[in-house]
Amino acid sequence: MHIMYGFLPIQWVIIWYIISGIVVLFGIYQLTKLLKENPEYKPLLALSGAFMFILSSLKMPSVTGSCSHPCGNALGAILFGVPILSVLSAITLTFQALLLNHGGLDTMGANIFSMGIMGPLAGLLTFKALKGTKLNSTINVGISAIIADWMTYVTTSVELALAYPTPSFQESLMVFLGIFALTQIPLAVAEGILTAVIWDYIKKLRPDILLKLGVIDESEVENKALIEGIGDN
């Protein structure tokens, strides 16, 4: 997913920086407001950022100009929304570019757009669509994480095809999708399973916060006494 340093033409560097920058700035505003009103969310926010950083640091060679790896971007998007997740991805990608030579500062706008905006957006929309069904939230999160991971690489394929539309955009896109969309499937499934496990742990440990965030309902809470105690307070 990380497009390497110096791989994008300057016009696309600027375009992706502008688009992603707008979302990240709005995310900073939302994040500041969220933590001011709900400081108890800090540990969960840190967990979401750490989860994304660790998973997306597991770099595996894919094709010239990019690489394959899990993304870890659905968890934070489901909990806090896409703008805040874009801020976490910007922090993650900055450290990876500077310390791990993973991606580049010039291509960060494009990488944020794929891993911090479009992928998470697809995962969040999937979660919301499935939330109205009788599906357990843990399974829902797992499916949403698979979609978020896979859509991240679809977006990267589009970015690369736009930058190198030879002999045409459509043919270039098919080449990149033929590599990314297919090879990423097993990684996306593995990420979905891991994200579901993490979610289930959070749900058992702090269902009160998930209830407050509106991502689960009381029927999934095992410890009813905990919820009743919070209501009394």
Q: Which CATH number does the domain housing residue 134 bear?
A: 1.10.1760.20
Give the pLDDT band (50/70/90) at residue 232. very low
Assigned domain for 3 exists: no
Task: Kindly tell me if the per-residue pLDDT of 22 is higher than 90.
Answer: yes
- 198 C-beta neighbours (distance < 10 Å), count: 18
Query: Out of 94-103, 154-163, 204-213, 215-224, which region has the weakest mean confidence (pLDDT)?
Result: 215-224
Please provide the distance, in angstroms rounded to a whole number, between the alpha carbons at the two ends of the chain.
46
pLDDT tier at 233, thresholds 50, 70, 90: very low
Q: 162-172 burial by CB neighbour count: b if 16+ within 10 A, else e?
A: bbbeeeeeeeb
Within a domain: residue 5? no
Mean pLDDT of 188-209: 94
pTM equals 0.91
> Quick one: average pLDDT of 73-79?
97
- 66 has pLDDT over 80: no
Contacts of 189 (CB under 8 A, 6+ apart): 146
* pLDDT-above-70 percentage for the chain: 91
pLDDT confidence band for 49 (50 / 70 / 90): very high
To 5 degrees, how large is the angle CA 128–CA 179–CA 87? 45
The verdict on residue 188 lying in a domain is yes
The reply to whether 119 falls in a domain is yes
* Residue 25, domain member (yes or no): yes
Q: What's the rounded mean pLDDT across residues 147-173?
A: 94
Which tokens in the block code for residue 127?
A: 């979660």
Q: Is 190 among the domain residues?
A: yes
**Number of compact structural domains in the chain:** 1
Mean pLDDT of all residues in 86-101: 93
CA-closest candidate to residue 102, choices 89, 91, 112, 93 = 93
What is the residue range of 177's domain?
A: 10-232
Q: How confident is the model at residue 63 (pLDDT cuts 50, 70, 90)?
A: low
Per-residue pLDDT for 120 more than 90?
yes
Q: Residue 61: inside a domain, yes or no?
A: yes
pLDDT of 166: 87
Within-domain flag for 62: yes
Residues 6+ apart with CB under 8 A from 17: 108, 109
Per-residue model confidence (pLDDT) at position 65: 52
